[in-house]
Chain A
Amino acid sequence: MNEILQENKLTAFINNLSPTSLNFSNELLQSATISLLTNDFPTTRKEAWKYTRVGRIAAIKAAPKSAISSSPTPFTIDSNALTFVFENGEFIPSLSSAIIPKGISIKSLSFCDAEELSQIGKLAKVDGEIFTAMNVAYANDGLFIKIADHIILEQSIQITHILRGKNNVSNFRNYIHAGKFSKAHIIQGYFSQNATHCFSNVVTEIVTGENAFLTIDKIQYEEMGNFHVATEEVQQDKNSTFTINTLTLDGTLVRNNLTIGVTGVNCTTNLNGVYLLKENQHVDNHTIVDHCAPNCESHELYKGVIDDSATAVFNGKVFVRKDSQKINAFQSNANVLLSDSATMNSKPELEIYADDVKCSHGSTTGQLDDEAIFYLRARGISEKSARHLMVSAFIGDVLGKIENEKVLEFTHSILKDRFGWEF
């Protein structure tokens, strides 16, 4: 029997939240509630949170749910995309696409029936995972996307989530199902406008069906002073290709938990990440690729540029289960520290239980090459431009993995605005 804890930081925190009005199954709600009542916010004694302190999230006194402004967001990545806008976790129909092409079903969770809602919670477990549990029990809203079999979607789907105001907590939940032989591109953009002490707690469950081809570009660009925890649970069925590019460009504290369960044979998995930090930002990427079936390949490339007194964390695990033969799994994490007080904690991990596999992992953390900077300066380039050229070269190969022009354009505009980097 689980022990119900006395008043702790977590119970104090959730006391200020409003229980979800979504019709999740009683079973799911109950497990979420138990998880919340029997746990507390993780401390750095917990291995998965060793370098990330969530005290500042716990300290937020969540404001009561207030009316959302519904005002247009200044952030549009792809103006031709099917766009769905949420403010502080709540759906804004007036800013969202009304006409949905045939073969796909997209709606906010608040418009989903019991059958559709029953898909929620199958991949993202609440047990012991307080952020996922909180996301269920106090869910605001989110997007439900189901792409029918054999549908090739030309338009991108764009989920825009914007934080506004002070002390607002958004428990934002998404479900994405790419049917057999379907193809789709989804942009997830997390932004804020005049927001402070807000917390986005996002959970996205993704099913990539047989022979499906799904690409997700995720941009995290919430202002300093706000916090973000994202959990993605992905399941890949056989012959599918799943790609996720995670671009973390702002935010006081950002934590990404990305877990990809490759359950079918002949799958390809690509996970790329770029995190660019300055001031006292903290960004933590925890990734898991779990190869449960043979004949698959995964490619993971995460790169960070860390300036000022910012800190970053990378923890990448690759599991190759017994009998998952012929797996090619590659993982690489590279970091550049631009200042003496910048910190990087990198931990690549491989656990292999099959014997006929090809796996590699590597991690490097260093500084920009002084000799190269001198060489560039000796050609008349200022030290500042020389450093920009070097940084751009460093992250160039990850940015090169982003195939969508609009996402790339948007990323470059942020690099210019926030970091003064022009490439």
Chain B
Amino acid sequence: MIKIKNLHATIDGKEILKGLNLEVKAGEVHAIMGPNGAGKSTLASVLAGREEYEVTEGTVEFDGKNLLELDTEDRAREGLFLAFQYPIEIPGVSNVNFLRTALNEIREYKGEEQISAKDFMALVREKSALVELDAKLASRAVNEGFSGGEKKRNEIFQMAMLEPKLAILDETDSGLDIDALRIVAKGVNTLKSSENATIVITHYQRLLDYIIPDFVHVLYDGKIVKTGTKDLALELEERGYDWIKAEVEAK
């Protein structure tokens, strides 16, 4: 699905990613954990195509294509989805209106027909129910006046609508209470298939009780320094990150 090799990225001349390697295959769930400032969100931003970040070295192959050569919208059209850590409010632009535009532009890119208004509304009903998002919220302006939990559920709702090949959840658990967390996780788990993959970026092990990862990676100082199973997440929860730091520095 995605092969990241020796990825280096800078912002304002400061190097954040320092040779990151990661391969995710279809059907897999990968968790990326790490202390603050390790480069977790930078990785998400670089993959989504934020222009403030400059890739100075390395390659990213997404479904056989050179991801780094694609514009942000084309990455999305190829099936990459980023659930934002801080979903922004866009007053005046309705959720459904923008999703219909998005869905149709993705379809056009793939040479498919536009979705009919009827099918679209049916899809909205089905997918908003999945994340228990009130249909009224779905038709309101994007994230405007939404609570923290509603914003995150809206991200997963959009993901459900767009059916990406690879979803990157950037700290989707931050600021969520246990109910919202459960709903978000349920959405992600329902959407999981042997055809798609998920990268869960998180600070806490909590979310991984609900979304069970196949692999857990520790990102530290711009590199993946340790990879394990979900037990690694539990160990991190218990022991913190200092022992990882010590291990890395000892090398």
Contact = CB atoms under 8 A, between A and B. Distances in A.
A380 B90 contact: no
A385 B101 contact: yes
A394 B82 CA distance: 26
Query: Interface of chain A, helix or strand or loop or mixed?
Result: helix
B73 A380 contact: yes
A111 interface: no
Interface string A155-193: 000000000000000000000000000000000000000
A376 to B, nearest CB: 6
Given A389-B97, A389-B98, A377 B71 contact: yes
Contacts of B162: 379-380
Interface in B35-54: 48-50
B8 interface: no
Contacts of B106: 380
Contact of A393 (B49, B71, B88, B93): B93
A390 B93 contact: yes
B92 A381 contact: no
Interface size range on A against B: 20 to 34
Contact of B88 (A371, A377, A382, A394): A371
Say which size band chain B's interface belongs to: 20 to 34
B59 interface: no
Interface string A364-382: 0000010110111111111
Interface in A342-389: 369, 371-372, 374-383, 385, 389
B82 A376 contact: no
B99 interface: yes
Contacts of A396: 92
A381 B90 contact: no
Interface in A387-402: 389-390, 392-394, 396-397
A379 B97 contact: no
A376 B106 CA distance: 12
B76 interface: yes
Given A374-B50, A389-B97, A393-B93, A379 B88 contact: no
A167 B177 CA distance: 70
A381 B91 contact: no
B74 to A, nearest CB: 8
Contacts of B71: 377, 383
A376 B50 contact: no
Contacts, number: 74
A369 B99 CA distance: 19
Given A381-B102, A385-B105, A393-B91, A375 B84 contact: yes
B240 interface: no
B48 A378 contact: yes
Contact of B105 (A375, A378, A382): A382
A139 B105 CA distance: 53
Interface in B192-207: none
Contacts of A389: 93, 97-98, 101
B72 A377 contact: yes
Contact of B102 (A372, A374, A379, A394): A379
Nearest to A393: B92
A377 B91 contact: no
B30 interface: no
B98 A381 contact: yes
A349 B24 CA distance: 60
B101 A377 contact: no
Contacts of A383: 71, 73
Given A374-B50, A374-B72, A385-B101, A380 B88 contact: no
A382 B73 contact: yes
A382 B106 CA distance: 10
A392 B141 CA distance: 12
Q: Which of B50, B77, B102 has the most CB of A within 10 A?
A: B102
A371 B73 CA distance: 14
B158 interface: yes
A390 B90 contact: yes
**Lowest 5 CB-CB distances: which A-B pairs, in order?**
A393-B92, A380-B76, A379-B102, A377-B72, A380-B106
14 contacts: A372-B93, A375-B90, A376-B90, A377-B49, A377-B73, A378-B49, A378-B81, A379-B76, A380-B73, A380-B106, A389-B93, A393-B141, A396-B92, A397-B92
Interface of A: 369, 371-372, 374-383, 385, 389-390, 392-394, 396-397
Given A380-B162, A382-B73, 9 more contacts: A369-B90, A371-B88, A375-B87, A375-B142, A379-B76, A379-B162, A380-B109, A392-B92, A393-B91
